[in-house]
Amino acid sequence: MIHSTDSFPGRTVNNNGKNHLYFGGTAYLGLPTLPGFCDILISNILKYGTGYAASRKANVRLSIYEEAETIMAGLIGSEAALSVSSGFLAGQLTLQSFSEEEYTFFHAPGTHPALIHPGGRPYATHGQLLQDVRDFAGSHPDKTPVVLCDSVTPEQNLYENHWYEQLPAEQTIFIADDSHGLGIMGNKGEGVYKRLEQIPFKELVVCGSMSKGFGIQAGAIFSSGAVIRRLWDNPVFAGASPASPAMLATFRDALPVYDIQRKKLQDNLKDFERYISGTDIFNGIKGHPAYSYKEESLTRYLLDKGIITTAFPYPDARSSLVQRIVISAYHTREDISKLCSAVRHFIN
């Protein structure tokens, strides 16, 4: 069911003239309408303008880009970072960096369209993927397998499922989209990079959106200095407009706000999980605010109770229905209590 609204969906969303609690979307830290965060962004827009209609490689260069990228790399744990205008571009630009004939691409189950290579091999199971990559690496010494995956999807979870440890690491390039982990997972929102770098991959790249966890319209790529320099030299990067400098300055200035909102989110998750303890209706990842479920009747039941959740086919109209309850830092303890009471009534 489509819900049209002309007001921003935050803690609540207006649907047909009635306010509903909103437990969907991906604004996990509740930043888009948070007054303190908006004040930081507005201040930076007044300083840097609304956007930057030029190439990063032009002869006039704003220092905020490199400053913010240095902070990003330090937080995530990579040697270097590169910002772009979106998470989707981050994935596509990364693929451009490994486009020569020497690379062969393997897509893990649930890989996001941002990391789909047209010549790649899709897999339904990790077991078959691992076997084929091992066989390929053993029989093609002149080629490099590139394994592509998401960090957080219903099909896979790099935070708890360590299937990647069984890859022939020193022969493999590993690329992960961590859009739903950046800013959320880890003690400081560092995401999955530090976990993955413990594996001696031939090359490691983590990319993704900065909007879901960090609240800025931008994408970013994290890797070695050599990979980031190769991306910087790519014509696609030179020809694409960069992320707004005001957004990157906001990332730099809002680091304390991220910590506060992450703590609020963690408290909300503890409340939610305490309330639903003993039920088996949801699938989730420890510490992550999205809880998937299969019962379409639950979506309708919650709507009748004044609660809207995520429910739509993704990534296209032919895909299966994605249904999730998403807890955010927007929510109050009363919101969580109302949601959980409705869920328990549904179950019973």
Burial class (CB in 10 A: 0-12, 13-18, 19+), 76: buried
Tokens 């009471």 belong to which residue? 341
Q: Where in the chain are all domains bearing CATH 3.40.640.10? A: 36-253
As a CATH number, domain 36-253 is: 3.40.640.10
In this structure, of 33-42, 84-93, 273-282, 332-341, the range with the lowest mean pLDDT score is 273-282
What mean pLDDT, rounded, does the chain reach? Answer: 94
In this structure, of 13-17, 159-163, 269-273, the range with the lowest mean pLDDT score is 13-17
| pLDDT tens digit sequence for 288-325 | 999 999 999 999 999 999 999 999 887 777 777 889 99
Read out DSSP for 158-183?
TTT--GGGGS-GGG-EEEEE-TTTTT
**Rounded to an integer, what distance in angstroms lies between the CA atom of residue 96 and that of residue 116?**
11
What local confidence, expressed as pLDDT, does residue 1 receive?
A: 65
Q: Where in the chain are all domains bearing CATH 3.90.1150.10? A: 12-31+256-347
In this structure, of 3-17, 134-148, 207-221, the range with the lowest mean pLDDT score is 3-17
Architecture of domain 12-31+256-347: Alpha-Beta Complex (3.90)
Quick one: pLDDT band at residue 97, thresholds 50, 70, 90? confident
| pLDDT tens digit sequence for 156-173 | 789 999 999 999 999 999
Q: Is the pLDDT of residue 4 over 80?
A: no
Global pTM value: 0.94
What local confidence, expressed as pLDDT, does residue 99 receive?
A: 76
| pLDDT tens digit sequence for 50-78 | 999 899 999 999 999 999 999 999 999 99
- Straight-line distance from the first to the last Cα atom of the chain, in angstroms, rounded to the nearest whole number: 25
What local confidence, expressed as pLDDT, does residue 155 receive?
A: 61
